[in-house]
Chain A
Amino acid sequence: MKSPTTYFDSLPRVAALQRRIADADRSMVALGALSAFVAFLVVLPMFWLVWQAATVEASRAYDLVVSSQTAWITLNSIGLMVFVTAFSILLGVPLAVLTSRTDLPYPRFWTVVAALPLVIPSYIGAIAFVGMFGPGGEVDSLFGMTIPRVHGLWGAVFIITLYTYPYVFLTTRAALLSMDRSIVDAARTLNAGPLEAFRRVTFPQIRPGIAAGALLAGLYAISDFGTPAFMNANVFTSTIYWEFSGFAVEYAALLALQLIAIVAIVLVIEAGIGRDEDVGGGSGRGSVVRLGPWKWPAMGFVSGLGIVTLVVPVAIFTNWLLVSEGDPLPSLEFEWTYAFNSAYLALLAALVACAFALPVAYYSARANSVVSRVLERATYLGFAVPGVVIGLALVFLGTRTLPSIYRQGVWLLIFGYVVRFLPQAVGTVRSSVLQVGDETIEAARTLNAGPYQTFRRITLPLIMPGVVVGGILVFLTTMKELPITLMLRPIGMETLVSIIWGAQDALAYRYAAVPALLLILISGVSMLVLLRQEGGRLG
Chain B
Amino acid sequence: MVRRDSSSTRDASIGRRPFLATAGASVAGIAALAGCLGDDDDDGSDGGSGGSGDDGSGAVANADPLGEPVDSEAVTWDDLGDLEGELTIYSGRTRDQIDPVFVALEEEYDGLTLNVDYDDNDVQVNQILQEGEATPADLMYSQDPGALGELERNGAVQALPGDVVDAVPESYREPDGYWTGVTGRVRAVQYNSERLAEETEFDSGDDLPTDIFEYAEDERFEGIISTRPNSGTFRGFIQAMVELEGEEATREWVRAMVEDQDVQLFSGGSDQAEAVNRGGDDDPIVALGNSYYAARIINEDPDAPIRATFTENDPGCLFSIAGVGVMNDVEDPELVAEFVRHLLAAEGQEFMMDANGEYPVVEGVDYVGDLPDLEDLNPPTFDLSDFDMDLQEAQDLLTEEGMTV
Interface residues of A (CB under 8 A from B): 69, 127, 130-131, 134-137, 140, 146, 149, 151, 229-230, 232, 234, 238-239, 241-249, 320, 323-327, 329-332, 388, 391-392, 395-396, 399-400, 403, 406-407, 483, 486-487, 491-492, 498, 502, 504-510
In the assembled complex, 17 residue pairs joining A and B whose CB atoms fall closer than 8 Å, in A order, are A135-B283, A140-B280, A151-B282, A232-B265, A234-B405, A247-B147, A247-B391, A327-B27, A329-B95, A331-B95, A392-B130, A486-B123, A487-B123, A491-B88, A502-B94, A507-B297, A508-B296
Given contact pairs A232-B405, A323-B301, enumerate 7 new A-B contacts (beta carbons under 8 Å): A136-B281, A137-B278, A246-B122, A399-B135, A492-B115, A505-B270, A506-B94
B300 CB contacts on chain A under 8 angstroms: 320, 324-326, 507-510
B399–A399 touching, CB < 8 Å: no
Q: Which of A137, A244, A392, A395 has the most CB of B within 10 A?
A: A395
Q: Contact: B273 with A507, CB < 8 Å?
A: yes
Which single member of A131, A324, A329 contacts B99 (CB below 8 Å)?
A329
Quick one: which of B84-132 are within 8 Å of A by CB? Answer: 88, 94-97, 99, 102-103, 115-119, 122-123, 125-127, 129-132
Whether B266 lies near A232 (C-beta < 8 A) is yes
Does A332 contact B404, Cβ atoms closer than 8 Å? no
**Chain B residues at the A interface, C-beta cutoff of 8 Å:** 23, 26-27, 30, 88, 94-97, 99, 102-103, 115-119, 122-123, 125-127, 129-132, 134-136, 147, 150, 230, 235, 264-268, 270-271, 273-274, 278-283, 293, 296-297, 299-302, 355, 391-392, 395, 399, 404-405
Query: Nearest 8 pairs between A and B by C-beta?
Result: A135-B280, A136-B280, A136-B278, A399-B134, A246-B395, A229-B267, A507-B296, A506-B96
Point out the residues of chain A lying under 8 angstroms from B279, CB to CB: 136
Tell whether A134 pairs with B278 under 8 Å between CB atoms, given A392-B127, A504-B270, A508-B296. Answer: yes
Q: Which single member of B115, B119, B266 contacts A486 (CB below 8 Å)?
A: B119
Which of B103, B119, B129, B301 gathers the greatest number of chain A CB atoms within 10 Å? B119
Select which of B103, B126, B297 is within 8 A of A330 by beta carbon: B103
| Cα distance, A400 to B133, chains bound together (Å) | 10
The reply to whether B126 and A392 form a contact with Cβ atoms under 8 Å apart is: yes
Write the nearest CB–CB distance from A62 to chain B, whole angstroms: 15
Q: Is the CB of B122 within 8 A of A396?
A: no
Shortest Cβ distance from residue B161 to the other chain A in the assembled complex, whole angstroms = 25
Minimum CB–CB distance from A130 to chain B (whole Å) comes to 8
Please measure, in the bound complex, the distance between the C-alpha atom of A136 and the C-alpha atom of B102, giving whole angstroms: 37
How close is B177's CB to chain A, nearest CB, in angstroms? 22
**Beta-carbon nearest neighbor of B102 in chain A:** A331
Residue of B nearest to A494 (CB): B118
Is there contact, CB below 8 Å, between A396 and B265?
Answer: no
Output the residue of A127, A131, A491 with the most chain B CB within 10 A: A491
Complex: chain A residue closest to B396, CB-CB = A246
Chain B residues near A403 (CB-CB < 8 A): 134
B278→A506 contact, CB < 8 A: no
For A241, what are the chain B residues with a Cβ–Cβ distance below 8 Å?
230, 267
Check if A506 sits within 8 Å of B95, measured CB to CB. yes
Taken together as a complex, chains A and B put the C-alpha atoms of A329 and B95 apart, in Å, by: 7
Complex Cα distance A503/B383, Å? 34
Residues of A within 8 A of B122 (CB): 244-247
A229-B267, A242-B230, A506-B296 as given contacts; A388 in contact with B123, CB under 8 Å = yes
In the assembled complex, the Cα of A406 lies from the Cα of B94 at a distance in Å of: 24
Contact partners of A140 in chain B: CB under 8 A: 280
Contacting pair B127 A395 (CB below 8 A): yes
Instruction: Report yes or no: A249 in contact with B126, Cβ–Cβ below 8 A.
Output: yes
Q: Residues of B contacting A326 with CB < 8 Å? A: 23, 296, 299-300
Residue of B nearest to A126 (CB): B271
Query: Considering the chains assembled together, what is the distance between the CA atoms of A420 and B305 in angstroms?
Result: 42
**A426 to B402, alpha carbons, bound, how many Å?**
41
A249 to B130, alpha carbons, bound, how many Å?
10
- How far apart are B53's CB and chain A's nearest CB, in angstroms? 20
Tell me which residues across on chain A come within 8 A of B117, comparing CB atoms.
491-492
Min CB–CB distance B150 → chain A (angstroms): 5
Q: Beyond A149-B282, A492-B117, is A244–B126 a contact (Cβ under 8 Å)?
A: yes
Question: Nearest chain-A residue to B113 (Cβ)?
Answer: A492
Q: Nearest-CB distance from A391 to chain B (Å)?
A: 8
| A406 lies within 8 A of B134 (CB) | yes
Taking the nearest CB of chain B, how far is it from the CB of A512, in angstroms? 12
Chain A min CB distance to B331 (Å): 14
In the complex the two chains form, what is the Cα distance from A502 to B93 in whole Å?
Answer: 10
| Nearest CB of A to B308, in Å | 14
CB of A325 within 8 A of CB of B302, answer: yes
CB within 8 Å for A248 and B95 given contacts A136-B283, A406-B134, A504-B270: no
A230 touches B268 (CB 8 A): yes
Residues of A within 8 A of B27 (CB): 327
A329, B96: Cα distance in complex, Å: 6
Distance, CA A396 to CA B135, complexed state (A): 10
Distance in Å: Cβ of A47 to nearest Cβ of chain B: 14
A508 to B115, CA, bound (A): 22
- Complex Cα distance, B279 from A477, in Å, reads 33
Contact between chains at B302 and A238 (CB < 8 Å): no
**Bound complex: CA A151 to CA B266 (Å):** 12
Known: A392-B126, A491-B115, A506-B296. A238 touches B267 (CB 8 A): yes
